[in-house]
Structure 1
Amino acid sequence: MAKLHRLHGLTLSYFTGKLEAYLRVKGLAYEFIEMDSADFRKCAQMTGIAQMPQLETPSGEWLTDTSAIIASFEALNTAPALQPSTPLARFFSLLLEDYFDEWLWRPALYYRWRFNDDARLMSAQIARSLLRDIPGPFFAKRLYILHRQRRVFLHDDGITRANAKAVEALFLSTLEMLEPIFALRPYLFGHRPCEADFALFGSVFRHFSHDPTPQDLMRQHAPQTLAWAARLWATTPATLHSAAPIDATPTDLDGFFEELGASYLPYLGANAEALRTRQRRVRANLKGGVFVTKPSLYHLHCLNVLKRAFAALEAADQHIVAVRIGASAALLKGPVSEIGLALETRKSNPTDRAWRH
Structure 2
Amino acid sequence: MMTELRLVGSSVSPYTRKVRALLRYRRIPYQFVRAGGRESEALPPAPLPLIPYVVLPDHNGELTEVMADTTPIINRLEDDYSARAVRPMDPALAVIDALLEEFGDEWLAKCMFHFRWSKLADTETSSSYLAYAMNMTAAPEQGEAFAKMFAERQISRIGVVGSNETTGPLIEESWERYLNVFDRHLQNQSFLLGSRPGAGDYGCFGQMTMLVLTDPTPQSVSRRISPRAFAWTEAMEDHSGLEVDDADWIDLDTPPETLKDLLCEVGRLFVPFMLENANAVASGDKMLECELDGRPWVQEAFVYQAKCLTWLKERYDNLGEIDKARLDNVLSGTGCEALFANKGDRDEKLHSE
TM-score by length of 2: 0.84
Of 234, 240, 244 in structure 1, the residue corresponding to residue 243 of structure 2 is 240
Is the CA contact (8 Å cut-off) linking 2:103 and 2:270 kept in structure 1?
Answer: yes
User: Secondary structure of the residue that 1:244 maps to in structure 2?
Assistant: helix
Q: How does 1:12-31 map to 2 (within 5 A)?
A: 12-31=12-31
Is the CA contact (8 Å cut-off) linking 1:6 and 1:30 kept in structure 2?
Answer: yes
Any unmatched runs of 5+ in structure 1?
336-357
Is the CA contact (8 Å cut-off) linking 1:167 and 1:287 kept in structure 2?
Answer: no
Is the CA contact (8 Å cut-off) linking 1:12 and 1:207 kept in structure 2?
Answer: no
1:290 shift after superposition = 3.0
1:330 shift after superposition = 4.3
Q: How does 1:222-233 map to 2 (within 5 A)?
A: 222-233=226-237
User: Secondary structure of the residue that 1:79 maps to in structure 2?
Assistant: coil
Instruction: Say if 1:35 and 1:216 are closer, same or farther in 2 by CA, change over 3 A.
Output: same
Q: After alignment, is 316-325 or 203-212 more displaced?
A: 316-325
Deviation readout 1:42-62 (Å, 9 max, x if unpaired): 98x834311111111243221
Deviation readout 1:256-296 (Å, 9 max, x if unpaired): 32233332222222222222221111135445553322222
Distance across 1 between alignment mates of 2:187 and 2:196: 15
1:192 shift after superposition = 0.8
Q: After alignment, is 124-133 or 25-34 more displaced?
A: 124-133
Aligned to 1:62: 66
Is the CA contact (8 Å cut-off) linking 2:212 and 2:230 kept in structure 1?
Answer: no
Q: After alignment, is 297-306 or 218-227 more displaced?
A: 218-227
Distance across 1 between alignment mates of 2:336 and 2:245: 38
1:89 shift after superposition = 0.9
In structure 1, give the amino acid aligned to 2:181.
M
Distance across 2 between alignment mates of 1:83 and 1:73: 10
Is the CA contact (8 Å cut-off) linking 1:166 and 1:288 kept in structure 2?
Answer: no
In structure 2, give the amino acid aligned to 1:272.
A
Q: Which has the higher contact order (CA 8 A, sep 6+)?
A: 1
1:318 shift after superposition = 2.3
Is the CA contact (8 Å cut-off) linking 2:177 and 2:265 kept in structure 1?
Answer: no
Aligned to 1:147: 152
1:208 shift after superposition = 2.3
In structure 1, give the amino acid aligned to 2:318.
A
Instruction: Say if 1:220 and 1:328 are closer, same or farther in 2 by CA, change over 3 A.
Output: closer
Deviation readout 1:131-160 (Å, 9 max, x if unpaired): 6799983322111111111121x3333423
Is the CA contact (8 Å cut-off) linking 2:268 and 2:293 kept in structure 1?
Answer: no
Q: After alignment, is 303-312 or 67-76 more displaced?
A: 67-76
Q: After alignment, is 84-93 or 248-257 more displaced?
A: 248-257
Distance across 2 between alignment mates of 1:328 and 1:78: 29
State the identity as a percent. 24
Say whether residues 1:279 and 2:289 are aligned partners: no
Any unmatched runs of 5+ in structure 2?
344-353
Aligned to 2:91: 87
Q: How does 1:36-55 map to 2 (within 5 A)?
A: 36=36, 46-55=45-54
In structure 1, give the amino acid aligned to 2:280.
A
User: Secondary structure of the residue that 2:242 maps to in structure 1?
Assistant: helix
Please report the RMSD computed on the Cα atoms of aligned residues, expressed in angstroms: 2.8
TM-score by length of 1: 0.83
